Chain A
Amino acid sequence: MTNSNSIAKHSDAPAMIQMRHVEKWYGDFHALKNIDLTVATGEKIVLCGPSGSGKSTLIRCINHLETIQSGEIIVNGHRLTDSQAAVDAVRQEVGMVFQQFNLFPHKTVMENCILAPMRVHKLSRTQAEKTAQKYLERVHIGDQAHKHPAQLSGGQQQRVAIARALCMEPKAMLFDEPTSALDPEMVKEVLDTMISLARDGMTMICVTHEMGFARQVADRVIFMANGEIVEENDPESFFSAPKHERTRAFLGEILAHH
């Protein structure tokens, strides 16, 4: 399935996420160098690159889990500053799924999902449970709502994590290597969930090594190395004709195992 039409389709829509001249340092280490990234509504971006390239850092800056030293980040019209109000506004627009799932172990699946809607959106328990049940069924885990995370497999936990983020009804989803901590046989169930989410029109940025997923779903694949965006292109062009030597080296290594 070709996604090359999608770039043209998305370029007229207003940008969902915009990063302009973003710079980030950890002390003396220059983690993000002059990052310019625009994500249109409904666009799916796959971010790939070697360890330490800054890809996780980049998406973590979008929801202010990391701070930037210069540049601008705008999410759905909200300009991200260090003020609590701006941070809260942005965090309501984007959901995040983590490599380590980060479910709350002392709460059931259902409780994990209803906590934020009740506390932030002030929904009643009944309303929150209704929304949660809907999203849990969306990720095919509706029958496990009363279990605790430790009673579920890794793939199930990650799907709960996706549902939990969706319960806040974000405009965009950030995925930070969502399948990297999973046993291979569970990777597919999570990727299928993400693909289904993508087909429903969710704006997504996924940091991942799953190149099959990138080919299937991405509108653009972006390759990062040493804190810089080296190359970006639609998946067809990216995989068949990478422009930079660095990209070729990375693809050579990563595709050798597929």
Chain B
Amino acid sequence: MGTQELSYLLLGLSWTLGLTAIGFAGGIPFGIGIALMRVSSNNWLRRPAMAWIGLFQGTPLLMQLFVAYFGLPLLGFNLPAWAAVAIALTAHASSFLGEIWRGAIQAIPKGQTEAALALGLPDRSRMFDVILPQAFKISLPATVGFLVQLLKGTSLAAIVGFIELTRAGNIVSNQLYRPLLVFGVVGAMYFAMCWPLSWWGRKLEQSMSKGANK
């Protein structure tokens, strides 16, 4: 494999990173929103959140990308390809992260909520100062696990035309007739992106635990 092929793969990698960044940037804030709606006592918030989670967890990401890319224009939304993919990845990520964080929020002992209420903390402060930081810490293994999955899941965007890393690998492999070499390199590149994410997640867990051990 020469430098030309390698730089083609790296271009694909940059697309993977870009799509992943979009997925995180959209999925994380919307995931928090979905989680908060999901734990709300208000039926008008909780039920739609449950439906959202059910829909986007229950259907394949590939199908969601299709629907966003081909379906949204049919409804009159004329979006560039990356926007359609961004919408699909955000919706997908928000449902999984929302459910992960919902579970983590509900795992926080009731006494924390009661102490916050007894102190007169407004709901916003109770969530963002007391509950969510603790919930986030509990959710770290599951959250990082999902984010790693999302990174690899961006490979599906190839189906709507993005030459991300896997598709780039496909193209190069077809040119060189050396699939093992090419996909070995592609695999190593994915690993090089995923492993630091996992490592960072563990570091974050450790630093959030610094007060927890005597």
Q: What is A's interface to B at a CB cutoff of 8 Å? A: 63-65, 88, 91-92, 94-96, 98, 100, 102-108, 115-116, 119-120, 148-151, 161, 164-165, 168
Pick the residue among A64, A107, A115 that contacts B121 (CB under 8 A).
A115
Contact yes or no, B134 A119, CB < 8 A:
no
Nearest-neighbor residue (CB-CB) of B125 within chain A: A119
Judge whether B118 is part of the interface by a CB distance below 8 angstroms. yes
Judge whether B115 is part of the interface by a CB distance below 8 angstroms. yes
Q: What is B's interface to A at a CB cutoff of 8 Å? A: 109, 111-112, 114-115, 117-122, 125, 129-130, 133-134, 137, 208, 210-214
- Complex CA–CA separation, A88 to B148 (angstroms): 43
- Complex CA–CA separation, A106 to B129 (angstroms): 10
Pick the residue among B112, B120, B125, B208 that contacts A168 (CB under 8 A).
B120
Interface core residue of A88, A103, A105, A168 (most chain B CB under 10 Å): A105
Pick the residue among B117, B118, B211 that contacts A150 (CB under 8 A).
B211
Contact yes or no, B119 A106, CB < 8 A:
no
Chain A residues positioned under 8 Å from B130 (CB to CB): 104, 115
Chain A residues positioned under 8 Å from B210 (CB to CB): 148
Contact yes or no, B119 A115, CB < 8 A:
yes
Min Cβ gap B207→A in Å is 11
Chain B residues positioned under 8 Å from A100 (CB to CB): 109, 111
Contact yes or no, B120 A116, CB < 8 A:
yes
- Complex CA–CA separation, A149 to B122 (angstroms): 23
Contact yes or no, B121 A116, CB < 8 A:
yes
Chain B residues positioned under 8 Å from A98 (CB to CB): 111, 114-115, 118
Min Cβ gap A209→B in Å is 20
Contact yes or no, A150 B212, CB < 8 A:
yes
Contact yes or no, B121 A106, CB < 8 A:
no
- Complex CA–CA separation, A102 to B210 (angstroms): 19
Q: List 13 A-B contacts (CB under 8 A).
A: A91-B118, A98-B111, A102-B112, A103-B115, A104-B115, A106-B208, A115-B121, A115-B130, A119-B129, A148-B211, A148-B212, A151-B214, A168-B120
Contact yes or no, A104 B112, CB < 8 A:
yes
Chain A residues positioned under 8 Å from B211 (CB to CB): 105-108, 148-151
Contact yes or no, B111 A120, CB < 8 A:
no
Contact yes or no, B120 A115, CB < 8 A:
no
Pick the residue among A94, A96, A105, A168 that contacts B212 (CB under 8 A).
A105
Chain A residues positioned under 8 Å from B208 (CB to CB): 106
Contact yes or no, A120 B121, CB < 8 A:
yes
- Complex CA–CA separation, A221 to B122 (angstroms): 34
Chain B residues positioned under 8 Å from A120 (CB to CB): 119-122
Chain A residues positioned under 8 Å from B118 (CB to CB): 63, 65, 91, 94-96, 98, 165
Q: Using A91-B118, A115-B130, A151-B211 as known contacts, list a sample of 17 further A-B pairs with CB atoms less than 8 Å apart, ordered by residue number in A.
A: A64-B117, A94-B118, A98-B114, A98-B115, A100-B109, A102-B111, A104-B112, A104-B130, A104-B134, A106-B211, A116-B119, A119-B122, A119-B125, A120-B121, A149-B211, A151-B214, A165-B119
- Complex CA–CA separation, A161 to B114 (angstroms): 13
Contact yes or no, A115 B112, CB < 8 A:
no
- Complex CA–CA separation, A214 to B56 (angstroms): 58
- Complex CA–CA separation, A120 to B118 (angstroms): 12
Nearest 9 pairs of A and B residues by beta carbon: A148-B211, A102-B115, A116-B119, A96-B118, A102-B111, A91-B120, A119-B125, A120-B120, A92-B120
